[in-house]
Amino acid sequence: MNKPRKTPQETQAIVESSLRRRYWAERRFRAYGMTAIVAALTFLVYLFFVIFSNGIGAFRQAEIRVDVFYDPAVIDPSGMRNPEDLHAADYQALIRASLKTRFADVDGRAATRELTRLVSGSAAFALQRNVTADPALIGTTRSEWLLASDAVDLLLKGHIERALPEAERPVSDQQLAWVDKLRAENALALKFNKTFLSSGDSREPENAGIWGAVVGSFFTLALTLLLSFPIGVAAAVYLEEFAHKNHWTDIIEVNINNLAAVPSIVFGLLGLAVFIGFFGLPRSAPLVGAMVLTLLTLPTIIIASRAALKAVPPSIREAALGMGASKIQMVSHHVLPLALPGMLTGTIIGMARALGESAPLLMIGMVAFIVDVPKSVTDAATVLPVQVYLWSDSPERGFVEKTSGAIIVLLAFLVVMNTTAVILRKRFERRW
């Protein structure tokens, strides 16, 4: 039944005729691989491009220069310089008056209202702060840069189409003309946006800042670190240096590996049911957030710490024990210091993950709209990624820019943390 044997020449002919096809397949396969990498990296670049091009504007904010006359008749009609009167005065009226003197041709209530809408509603508070800080201002005229409204801000940044019909854009033709006039007189400019970096959340895009979220993130992360690093290191030391291999340690290990892959939102459910529901801890507090994030990051830290402990050669342990050290002394005097850089690297990476985490924090109520900057770990607070989520939900166009700006800040923190981890690893990495 055997086929007649092929001569070597015939075989060679078959192989050669197929070579072209096979080399093509080779090149095609290689191109697929290259395409995959290029595609993935293109997504990365595009993602960063979108975020940065949208968010870079958040760091600049339109301001209008106005000569403000601190009218004693408005601020302090009694002339007593009573702090409560100064606090309660109608500073909006000062702005209205100043703008009216600037544009003397504006007449009528409607037009005046449109004119004052160029300036943000919070500008009055700035004047109030000025007066409180220095009551001698009253009666003088000073040139002030006032926060412009978010419509003017968007217009200046080119997010509002001038060509649209008047009814479809948030600035009227009249306001456009004023803006152009102010622009021509150098009295309207984009300035560095201090509000964005220094204040809490707000419903008005021009007043919204990320400082509250940054402080909330700081409290949460600091507490997470305080809880998870000692516990994680202790657990790793026990499992690596003390535990005998038995059923119990097997159970612990399987648990740690599985927890590392449980969806983060499930940890949020745990926090809601146990920490808030059962123990009655306050909602929205960094304290609870930190406890949830601790449980979330513990597996990462334990796994990294165990790897670092494994990397310390047994000879060091034997030498210490040989010198008469107890097991605890051997670990705390010799093994731990040598493994510490590796543990820290793992911890920083875990913290970076915790910083970007938001789903479990939604569960425990850290999504409330909070204007005040938190002062302690039991105050209601929010964190950076949740702030991103909250702003991305806002309908105002101005918040798109704020959202991207907050993401830039978040990414900057992440870059710093990961770079630290890499440097730490490079610097202290030891080969035995």
Partner 1 sequence: MTPAALLLALALLSAGAFWIGKSRSLALVGGTRGVRNLHSLPSHYGVMTAMWCALPALLVIFAWVGFQDAIILRLVTDHLPAGVRDLPANELSLVLNDVRNLVAGNVPAANVSEAVRGAAAQYLQLRGVSRMALTVLVMVMAVGTIIFVRGRITPELRARNRVERVVEWMLIGCSTIAVFTTIGIVASVAFEALRFFQHVNVFDFLFGTSWSPQMAIRADQVGSSGSFGAVPLFAGTALISFIAMAIAVPIGLYSAIYLAEYAHPKFRTWAKPLLEVLAGVPTVVYGFFAALTIGPALRGWGESVGLSVASESALAAGFVMGIMIIPFVSSLADDMISAVPQALRDGAYALGATRSETIKQVVVRAALPGIVGGVLLAVSRAIGETMIVVMAAGLAANLTANPLEAVTTVTVQIVTLLVGDQEFDSPKTLAAFALGLVLFLVTLALNVLALHIVRKYREQYE
What strand order describes the sheet that includes 141-147?
A: 141-147, 60-69, 188-192
Name which of 141 and 255 has its Cβ closer to partner 1. 255
Write the DSSP string, 370-407.
Answer: --SPP-STTS----HHHHHHHHHT--STHHHHHHHHHH
Give me the 239-268 binding string for partner 1, x by CB under 8 A, dash otherwise: x--xx-------xx--xxxxx-xxxxxxx-
When asked if residue 270 is in the footprint of partner 1 (CB under 8 A), the reply is yes
Residues binding partner 1: what is the number (CB under 8 A)? 86
What is the rounded distance in angstroms from the CA atom of residue 330 to the CA atom of residue 242? 11
Distance in Å, CB of 67 to partner 1, minimum: 40
Q: Which stretch binds partner 1 (CB under 8 A): 139-147, 150-158, 189-197, 357-365?
A: 357-365
When asked if residue 432 is in the footprint of partner 1 (CB under 8 A), the reply is no
Instruction: List for the chain the helix, strand, coil content (%; round to 5).
Output: 70, 5, 25
Q: Which of 171, 221, 304, 388 binds partner 1 (CB under 8 A)?
A: 388
When asked if residue 396 is in the footprint of partner 1 (CB under 8 A), the reply is no
Distance in Å, CB of 190 to partner 1, minimum: 22
Positions in 188-217 near partner 1 (CB under 8 A) = none
Kindly give the residue spans of alpha helices, DSSP state H, lying in 134-210.
150-156, 173-184, 194-198
Distance in Å, CB of 194 to partner 1, minimum: 24
Distance in Å, CB of 312 to partner 1, minimum: 17
When asked if residue 54 is in the footprint of partner 1 (CB under 8 A), the reply is yes
Q: For 189, phi and psi rounded to 5 degrees?
A: -150, 160
Residue 159 exposed, middle or buried by CB count within 10 Å (0-12, 13-18, 19+): middle
When asked if residue 423 is in the footprint of partner 1 (CB under 8 A), the reply is no
When asked if residue 277 is in the footprint of partner 1 (CB under 8 A), the reply is yes
Q: Which of 261, 271, 256, 269 is nearest to 220 (CA)?
A: 271
Q: Which of 6, 11, 13, 26 binds partner 1 (CB under 8 A)?
A: 26
When asked if residue 12 is in the footprint of partner 1 (CB under 8 A), the reply is no
Q: Which of 389, 401, 402, 409 binds partner 1 (CB under 8 A)?
A: 389
When asked if residue 358 is in the footprint of partner 1 (CB under 8 A), the reply is yes
Residue 263 exposed, middle or buried by CB count within 10 Å (0-12, 13-18, 19+): exposed
When asked if residue 326 is in the footprint of partner 1 (CB under 8 A), the reply is yes
The two three-digit tokens of residue 80, written as one number: 């007593």
